[in-house]
Structure 1
Amino acid sequence: MGSDNTDRNKPGIANFAALKTAIVNGEDQLVRELLSHEPMLDIEKSYLIDLAQLNKNHTIIKLLENISVKK
């Protein structure tokens, strides 16, 4: 039973890791592709925006700011 929950979370974790890498590398197009139209947790969104701000990538910052937050 526990493995079902773990398996279900893997794509989300892998996507988040890929998103962080794309932000650090300044890959605007890849960030666009990795961002789903689903809302993300506020803490995740804030972290990714902080990461983009460290790299001063205004395009990625705007992309992230437009993501809705899960309630």
Structure 2
Amino acid sequence: MTDYNNESTLKQNPTLHMEALKTAITDGDEEQLKGLLTNEIFDELQKSHLIHLAEETGNSDIVKILKGTPATP
């Protein structure tokens, strides 16, 4: 089982980091999501994908958090 709280593992594996973000979004875990977003900058496509996922879950607080995350064009 993957430890999504292990920051060094997530930094070494970007795919694993994205999966941890998706898990936090679908679980509605705002605190975990905020921790994973620390010092994170997505491109617009990644950010859009995560926002869409959050909108599908119906959690408006998660959507707001993601919309406030910086992204590069």
Q: For 1:48, which of 43, 47, 50 is the aligned residue? A: 50
Distance 2:30 2:71 in 1: 21
Q: Tell me, in whole angstroms, the C-alpha distance in 2 between the residues paired with 1:66 and 1:30.
A: 16
State the structure with more CA Rg. 1
Aligned length: 63
TM-score (structure 2 length as normaliser): 0.76
2:71 aligned residue: 69
Matched-pair identity in %:
32
Which structure 1 residue ranges, 4+ long, deviate > 6 Å from structure 2? none
Counterpart CA distance in 2 for 1:32 and 1:55 is 17
Question: Runs of 5+ in structure 1 lacking a partner?
Answer: 1-8
Instruction: Measure the CA separation in 1 of the matches of 2:68 and 2:37.
Output: 10
* Alignment gaps of 5+ in structure 2: 1-10
Using the size of structure 1 for normalisation, the TM-score is 0.78
Name the Cα RMSD after superposition.
Answer: 1.6
Task: Select the structure that is richer in strand.
Answer: 2
Mapped partners of 1:66, 1:41: distance in 2: 13
